[in-house]
Every structure is written in C-alpha cells, then in structure tokens.
Amino acid sequence: METEHRGWFGRQVSRWYNKDHEKPGERAGEVFAIVAISLLTLYFVSSQIDRTGFFTSSFGNLETFLFYVPVPFGIAVCLIRLSTGRRNPARPLDSIDAAITGMACLWFFVVFPFNFAHLGDLLPSQIQFLADWIPNYLARAVFLVGGFGSLFNAVYTPMIYLVVRAVYSRKAAL
C-alpha cells in the first residue's frame, strides 16, 4: 500500500499511511506493552499498599487518580492496535491518554509526591541497584520532559489520525 506525495508534509503523510498496519512483531510488542504496564501498575500499587516510602505524604487522592488513570487508557490503546492490526483506530484514545499523562506529569513535577530513594524497595535485594541510582532531581526532570512531550503528542496525534483517515477515505473512493 504505497502512496506518493510531494514535499515534506506529503512525505510525512505517506510515512504515516504506509506504517499504519502493524507487522506481527509490532503486534507482539503490544502484548508485551500490556504485560509491562500491568506489572508496573501492580508494583506501584504494592508499593503504595506496603507504604515503602516511595509515595510521600503529599501523594493524596488527586495524585493517586493522576498516577493511575493513564493505565487503562494505555492498555486500551494497545488492545485496539492488537485487535485491528492498525495504529490509526487507536489514535483518538491515544491522544486522550497523552493529554492526561502530560497534565499528570506536569502536576507531579510541581508537587513531586515521591521519594525515589525507595523506588526499588520491593525488588529482590540482588537487583535493587537497578532503581537505587535514580535521584529525585532526575525523576523531576523526566516528569517535566514527559509532560511537555505528552502534551505535544496530544495535539500531534489527532492530526495524524485525521490525515491518515482522509487518505483511507480517498483510496476507498477510487
């Protein structure tokens, strides 16, 4: 399914359209992403229940909501891509997820209700070193960059969705 366009934007449209269908390895990646998201969520829920110290006293109801609400959206995006074998049908939900994630990341940058010294507390002692090196200032920087990156993605993704949908419509009309 090759489509040809001229100019920078036309080449981007061609790239988005031609990469819409996921290859088997990419679909397997969606399964991996679902498993990884689920395991990470369970890890953080356990950390919160066990009161390891990762979540500080300023991690209240709003922070809990903002921390966990992107999870079902992320899993749903993966499930849509996995079931359809295409990226475009998942883009509207992906955009909503990116907007929520971006706002959450920027909120966490400001409030920062975490203590990353306790991130690895639930890990087996032999591998705790994997998380022990992450200082709070680096985590805050990741939240800042992730926040702005996600908000950009929340705007960019619907544009891709509309353009690819228009190309599919045009091809169907031919």
pLDDT of residue 1: 43
The CA-to-CA distance between both ends of the chain, in Å, stands at: 14
Please state the domain extents for the chain.
Answer: 9-173
Average pLDDT rounded to a whole number, residues 152-174: 92
In angstroms, the CA 88 to CA 160 distance is 8
Write down the pLDDT at residue 12.
Answer: 84
Instruction: Give 174's pLDDT tier (boundaries 50, 70, 90).
Output: confident
pLDDT band at 100 (very low <50, low <70, confident <90, very high): very high
| Max Cα-Cα span within the chain | 62
Mean pLDDT for the stretch of residues 62-69: 97
Residue 9 is predicted with a pLDDT of 79
Mean pLDDT of the chain: 94
Whether 80 has a pLDDT exceeding 70, the answer reads: yes
Residue 5: its pLDDT value, please? Answer: 54
pLDDT tens profile 2-48: 445 568 878 888 889 999 999 999 999 999 999 999 999 999 999 99
Q: Name the CA radius of gyration of the chain, rounded.
A: 19
CA distance 32 to 29: 5
Q: Decide: pTM greater than 0.75.
A: yes
Whether the Cβ atoms of residue 13 and residue 28 lie closer than 8 Å to each other: no
pLDDT value, residue 4 = 53
